[in-house]
Amino acid sequence: MSATPAPGRLHAPRGLLGTLRSWLQGGSGEFGQANEGLPTEPARPHADFYGSARVLVVDDDLVNLMVISALMESRGIVPLLAADGGEAVALACELHFDLILMDLQMPILDGLRATSAIRRFEAQGSRPPVPVLAYSSTAVAADTLAAHGLNGSLAKPCGAHELEACLVRWCPTYRAPSTARGTAHISGGWQPSLR
């Protein structure tokens, strides 16, 4: 198993959100130019790449991925991102995660079928089951989620408090912001540190 996501997979190396923020705050105005200087191959995740928990977020909407990534970074976590269920299954079979947040309505392979595929892989004895939560704006019955192997749900969009409660409940390795790397206390609350 490789620790490097395959080329073409959507992921969030350190600095990606900073690059996007810079571009949105008056960069060149050309999205292609905002990517100049970024590596064409994905960064190799090292032991502390993810922060205090290894989280995979799966969503086909880039804005949703940016929002949840920023929230997680404010909690000391750099999530790995996937744009569809097929990518999620490949990553879950290749890498170990503490938590997977799975959008349900995606092209190519929806979240229910992707989670079922991940559970089949786990059942082959390869590794213990990882908690998978539906990350959706659409309510789905708990028995439907359970039938496909999902452990619960997190409503989209979620706020910082909902995300914090989710991380505390489902990620045994998660450290609260007071001890998490990559956070700084700013009067008025926790904010991501600027690198």
Q: What is the pLDDT of residue 46?
A: 41
Q: What is the pLDDT of residue 177?
A: 67
Instruction: Kindly list the averaged pLDDT for each block of 10 residues, start to end, along the chain of length 195.
Output: 47 47 46 41 44 89 93 90 94 93 94 96 88 92 94 92 92 70 37 39
Cα–Cα distances in Å, from 177 out to 11, 50, 126, 149, 183? 23, 14, 32, 30, 7
For the chain, which residues make up each domain, given as ranges?
Answer: 42-179
Q: What is the pLDDT of residue 192?
A: 40
Nearest of 53, 64, 131 to residue 92 by alpha carbon: 131
* Cβ–Cβ < 8 Å for 103, 60: yes
Q: What is the pLDDT of residue 70?
A: 92
Nearest of 74, 139, 82, 73 to residue 106 by alpha carbon: 82
* Cβ–Cβ < 8 Å for 114, 102: yes
* Cβ–Cβ < 8 Å for 190, 177: yes
Q: What is the pLDDT of residue 107?
A: 87
d(CA 187, CA 21) in angstroms, rounded, equals 22
Q: What is the pLDDT of residue 45?
A: 45
Q: What is the pLDDT of residue 150?
A: 95
Give me the sign of the Cα torsion angle 140, 141, 144, 146.
positive
Q: What is the CATH number of domain 42-179?
A: 3.40.50.2300
Q: Which two tokens stand for residue 178?
A: 């007071």
Q: What is the pLDDT of residue 149?
A: 95
